[in-house]
Chains A and B, each alone.
Chain A
Amino acid sequence: MRLELEKRPERSTLMALLSPVIAIALTLVTGAVLFAALGQNPAVALYMFFIDPLTASWSLQELVVKATPLILIGVGLAVCFLSNTWNIGAEGQFTAGALAGSMLPILLPGFESFLTLPLMLLMGIAGGMLWGGIPAFLKVRFGTNEILTSLMLVYISQLLLDWLVRGPWRDPEGFNFPESRVFSDAATLPALADGRMHVGAIFAVIAVLALSVVLLKTLKGFEIRVLGQAPRAGRFAGFSRNKIIVFAFLLSGGLAGLAGISEVSGSVNQLTPVISPGYGFTAIIVAFLGRLNPIGIFFSGFLLALSYLGGEAAQVTLGISDKTTRVFQGLLLFYVLACDTLILYRIRFTRPGVSAKGA
């Protein structure tokens, strides 16, 4: 018996929907094997990892807090990936947005008005756009590889953050801890419930709805898809590849920046040397798992947020390293990309010798 991949005449709609489901199932099976190898009861471990976090109000709110940046960044990245633009540096744009937005409460702590928050958010968006604009400019002007430049800018922004909170932006009353001053109430995103859930979640919902409309209903969305799938046909249609590169980077950078400032202002309330558990990178998985579709990304954002919570829970209750989270995320991306093959191909078993030769 031999396994062959046979090309389908068209994309299979069924497989496009089933592929993430199969991928999640395979991830769980592989995870169970891994837990068993670590000497844990797989059923208990999977329960602690994926179900237990959904049983308490505080952890459900925590789920929303973690899903918010993943979804905001994920929908922006979907626009990039659909247009065949490879922004791998959302983590850097997230950090740049957090830095730019935090300037106001840190450098002008006395400026407390109803304008403080809107200004911070706008500055956060602008910071993310600026950071995303750099690889876009380099690509359009010099033809550099945006994967490398956007990724390298991640490290620059993280080191910049590190330097700022240890140096010029360190809290003067903070006993020399590497932290900025705590934001005033006027610079804090309002909470949505009794826990840590904040208004940022609403931004994520708005972004999902707005981009759904743009991608499916407008000429801009059509342009993005055409240029992503067939650049030559895009040029024939009169669309500009360079313009779309800039558009995609500014949009995804702006959304990542908004996620950054929302995270800092809504749940951390100050700058610390590390402000993200890798949201910008995890959002790449979120985008693909959600089929690069904003609605799909809404759900996959929650799933990946759950993997963060599960990792913490597993560490506390089972004593497993929280690096397990990374393992699960990696497995998931691996299986999603592998299963996506089935959208355009079907698997066929052939017996050796039967395949026609010559005729």
Chain B
Amino acid sequence: MTVDDTTNPQHGVVGERRGTVLLDARGITKRFGEILANDTVSLTLRAGEIHALLGENGAGKSTLVKILYGALDPNAGDLVWQGQTVTIASPAEARALGIGMVFQHFSLFEALTVAENIALALPPGQSFRALSERIRQVSRDYGLTLDPSAIVADLSVGVRQRIEIVRCLLQEPKLIIMDEPTSVLTPQEADQLFVTLERLALEGCAILYISHRLEEVQRICHHATIMRHGKVVMECDPTKETAGSLARLMVGSAVHDLKRGVVPREGDVRLALKDLSAEAEGPFSVAIENIDLDVRAGEVVAIAGIAGNGQSELFELVSGERLSSSADAVTIGAVPMGRAGITKRRRAGAAFVPEERLGHGAVPGLKLSENLLLTRHSTGDGLVQGGFLKRDRAGALEQRIKTNFDVRMSHDDPEARALSGGNLQKFVIGRELDRQPDVLVVNQPTWGVDAGAAALIRQELIDLSRNGAAVLVISQDLDEIFEIADRIAVISRGKLSDAIPAQKLTRERVGLLMAGLDEDSGGAGDAA
């Protein structure tokens, strides 16, 4: 917890870097509104090197990669490709240079065959038969078994990724960018992928490998660049670092002042999850496995974890948007609620704030006073009587939330989509806090919110708990978690670790847990 933010990249232990320089990105800067997504980032990629790009969500990795692949224009900086300064204006130009990319989420037509999908991405004019033969050959050469005539819908996620990789390889790239390739793979599928990547590197291909999983990075990468808050904070040889030191560098530690107040003496359990499990609902959904957690009145419990490890699935199960298989899996107050819908859970004193503001927490095209009704139509606020809407009361309540939570708007009662992200988030959270709930569950409370609004929201969450509510926060932002949480649990691949008092945890330990590693005992999955 002692490493400060660094402005200049440190150099850790860097081994001899071999291979000719393929791509040199110099001083890349990209600004989105007030946010510097990339701040004078430099990156050198060499032929034959598997280069890891590490960082938390929002560290600027995706922005950098999109610039390299021609999907975004940098505001400043140069790209030097094989010694020549180039402008990459589109992904097509990137491919023409020899840069290929395999995305985290696939773009395949499920109803078509493997060969048809690949043909769609290639320039026209090839005979289909010849293409099928090339697919067979490339897939055999690289150990990526593929049947060109198979229908994509019938294939597993791992095989679908092979299609993307083969499609990329057929264009004979010199640099392949892989965005979190293992996040959707089983460990066995991941092992196969590593063999392929090592083989490609041996043949002189450069690979830029984006991942959160430190174990993998240490296993296959020759070099690593670590980003935080849009800057490169360090370059190193990952095999010479410990997973702990990498995690600490990724996570950093900026400290803001929040009034924590006194944790009241141990309160009653207000929200209890008991052996909560649910199957995955699709190829990009995560199964929830045997989660146990108690949240008591007066405390803030945070669930840390990297995106896509089951956070949204867990949120849906706790909120009642998705029902559990047994009533006892979720208890609110003292009542088993696992089989009750979200409205019943709200009536029992619980309130929920989902991650997505627009489209989930609020309807973009409805006015704020109508969006108020979304979560409060049946919670005894008198907004609906005998099935009829009481618009004047909703309007008055909207005014109250606007004043109490400093929601800024250009004119009165606008549509939700007209508010900025931070202001809409203040409204969506204010809508629930205004009820003074006994239990509040919030997913990514300050995602994409500016610093001022974030501080206000975090203070509100702490104050709510100190007034006797049980608050459960799901977040990827470790700074936030350490600022507000009394206890911290970590979710990884749908399993939740024990909730441990925040004082007893270091960022390093949390970072390791987030990356799916835990060197201490009492790891993921054990009952509390």
Known contacts A217-B389, A219-B387, A226-B366; A233/B359 CB under 8 A: yes
> Is there a chain A Cβ closer than 8 Å to B93's Cβ?
no
* Residues 232-264 of chain A, each 1 if its beta carbon lies under 8 Å from chain B, else 0: 110111100000000000000000000000000
| Residues of chain A lying within 8 A (CB to CB) of residue B359 | 230, 232-233
The answer to whether A219 touches B374 (Cβ under 8 A) is no
Distance of B341 from chain A, by nearest CB (Å): 6
Within 8 A of B (CB), among A189-239: 217-220, 222, 225-226, 229-230, 232-233, 235-238
The answer to whether A238 touches B378 (Cβ under 8 A) is yes
The answer to whether B384 touches A358 (Cβ under 8 A) is no
Q: Which of A219, A226, A232, A238 contacts B341 (CB 8 A)?
A: A238
The answer to whether A9 touches B417 (Cβ under 8 A) is yes
Known contacts A219-B389, A222-B389; A11/B415 CB under 8 A: yes
Distance of A230 from chain B, by nearest CB (Å): 4
Smallest Cβ-Cβ distance to A235: which chain B residue:
B321
Distance of A267 from chain B, by nearest CB (Å): 36
> Is there a chain B Cβ closer than 8 Å to A357's Cβ?
yes
Distance of A233 from chain B, by nearest CB (Å): 5
* Residues 259-287 of chain B, each 1 if its beta carbon lies under 8 Å from chain A, else 0: 00000000000000000000000000000
Known contacts A218-B388, A238-B341; A225/B375 CB under 8 A: no
The answer to whether A10 touches B389 (Cβ under 8 A) is no
> Is there a chain B Cβ closer than 8 Å to A38's Cβ?
no
> Is there a chain B Cβ closer than 8 Å to A1's Cβ?
no
| Residues of chain A lying within 8 A (CB to CB) of residue B387 | 218-220
Known contacts A230-B364, A357-B73; A10/B377 CB under 8 A: no
Distance of B264 from chain A, by nearest CB (Å): 31
| Residues of chain A lying within 8 A (CB to CB) of residue B362 | 233
The answer to whether A236 touches B342 (Cβ under 8 A) is yes
The answer to whether A233 touches B363 (Cβ under 8 A) is yes
| Residues of chain A lying within 8 A (CB to CB) of residue B365 | 11, 229
> Is there a chain B Cβ closer than 8 Å to A108's Cβ?
no
| Residues of chain B lying within 8 A (CB to CB) of residue A235 | 321, 342
Known contacts A222-B389, A232-B356; A237/B375 CB under 8 A: yes
| Residues of chain B lying within 8 A (CB to CB) of residue A238 | 320, 341-343, 346, 378
The answer to whether A10 touches B378 (Cβ under 8 A) is no
The answer to whether A219 touches B377 (Cβ under 8 A) is yes
**Alpha-carbon distance A14/B222, docked complex (angstroms):** 61
Smallest Cβ-Cβ distance to B378: which chain A residue:
A238
* Residues 315-359 of chain A, each 1 if its beta carbon lies under 8 Å from chain B, else 0: 000000000000000000000000000000000000000000111
Distance of B217 from chain A, by nearest CB (Å): 33
> Is there a chain A Cβ closer than 8 Å to B361's Cβ?
yes
Distance of A12 from chain B, by nearest CB (Å): 11
> Is there a chain A Cβ closer than 8 Å to B164's Cβ?
no
| Residues of chain A lying within 8 A (CB to CB) of residue B377 | 219, 222, 237
Distance of A139 from chain B, by nearest CB (Å): 19
Q: Which of A11, A229, A236 contacts B360 (CB 8 A)?
A: A236
* Residues 411-439 of chain B, each 1 if its beta carbon lies under 8 Å from chain A, else 0: 00011011000000000000000000000
* Residues 62-82 of chain A, each 1 if its beta carbon lies under 8 Å from chain B, else 0: 000000000000000000000
| Residues of chain B lying within 8 A (CB to CB) of residue A226 | 363, 366, 374
Distance of A252 from chain B, by nearest CB (Å): 20
Smallest Cβ-Cβ distance to A9: which chain B residue:
B418
Smallest Cβ-Cβ distance to A230: which chain B residue:
B363
| Residues of chain B lying within 8 A (CB to CB) of residue A10 | 414-415, 417-418
**Alpha-carbon distance A219/B394, docked complex (angstroms):** 13
| Residues of chain A lying within 8 A (CB to CB) of residue B299 | none
Q: Which of A9, A225, A236 contacts B361 (CB 8 A)?
A: A236
**Alpha-carbon distance A347/B346, docked complex (angstroms):** 44
| Residues of chain A lying within 8 A (CB to CB) of residue B352 | 236
**Alpha-carbon distance A238/B316, docked complex (angstroms):** 12
The answer to whether A232 touches B415 (Cβ under 8 A) is no
The answer to whether B75 touches A358 (Cβ under 8 A) is yes
Distance of A241 from chain B, by nearest CB (Å): 12
| Residues of chain A lying within 8 A (CB to CB) of residue B74 | 358
| Residues of chain A lying within 8 A (CB to CB) of residue B73 | 357-358
| Residues of chain B lying within 8 A (CB to CB) of residue A233 | 359-363, 374
**Alpha-carbon distance A44/B304, docked complex (angstroms):** 74
| Residues of chain A lying within 8 A (CB to CB) of residue B343 | 238
> Is there a chain A Cβ closer than 8 Å to B442's Cβ?
no
**Alpha-carbon distance A120/B352, docked complex (angstroms):** 50
**Alpha-carbon distance A10/B413, docked complex (angstroms):** 12
| Residues of chain B lying within 8 A (CB to CB) of residue A232 | 356, 359-360
Distance of B127 from chain A, by nearest CB (Å): 36
Distance of A228 from chain B, by nearest CB (Å): 10
The answer to whether A229 touches B321 (Cβ under 8 A) is no
**Alpha-carbon distance A11/B366, docked complex (angstroms):** 10
| Residues of chain A lying within 8 A (CB to CB) of residue B417 | 9-10
Smallest Cβ-Cβ distance to A220: which chain B residue:
B387
The answer to whether A219 touches B418 (Cβ under 8 A) is no
| Residues of chain A lying within 8 A (CB to CB) of residue B480 | none
Nearest first, the 9 A-B pairs at minimum CB distance are A238-B343, A230-B363, A237-B374, A9-B418, A10-B415, A238-B342, A10-B418, A232-B360, A233-B363
A219-B377, A220-B387, A236-B342 given; 12 more Cβ-contact pairs under 8 Å: A217-B389, A222-B389, A226-B366, A226-B374, A229-B365, A229-B366, A230-B359, A230-B364, A233-B374, A235-B321, A238-B341, A359-B75
- 15 A–B contacts from the bound complex (CB under 8 Å): A9-B418, A10-B417, A219-B388, A219-B389, A222-B389, A225-B363, A226-B363, A226-B366, A230-B359, A230-B364, A232-B359, A233-B362, A236-B360, A237-B377, A358-B74
